[in-house]
Amino acid sequence: MNIKQLSRQEKESLYIKKMTELQLRWKNPIDSNWDFINNWIDEELEKNIEETIGQLGFEKGLSIIKKVTLISLIIFVVLGIFGLLFFGIK
């Protein structure tokens, strides 16, 4: 997606959408007052959109890594317990 080709309203809408998604991921309360965006120049808005999208991508990737690690750990423990029960403790 090329942010520079979007209109000002589309940029503001995209920023609000992505920042809301990020705040929900962080479990933060969401403030509905987005008036401060109107004071930003286009370059600042584009920079903040890119940073928010980057942070959101990092958070999603980190979430996947955490889930894979947790599932691997659970499988390891379950297989260990199953092995002990099946083969017995000697």
Instruction: State pLDDT tens for residues 16-31.
Output: 999 999 999 999 888 8
pLDDT in tens, 30-81: 888 888 888 999 999 999 999 999 999 999 999 999 999 999 999 999 999 9
The DSSP 8-state label assigned to residue 57 in this structure reads H
Best CA proximity match to 19, nearest among 5, 30, 8: 30
Whole-angstrom distance, CA of residue 24 vs CA of residue 45? 21
* pLDDT band, residue 4 (cuts 50/70/90): confident
Residue whose C-alpha is closest to residue 54's, from 22, 11, 16:
22
Say if pTM beats, i.e. exceeds, 0.85.
no
Name residue, tokens 């959101």.
Answer: 56
Domain limits, the chain: 3-87
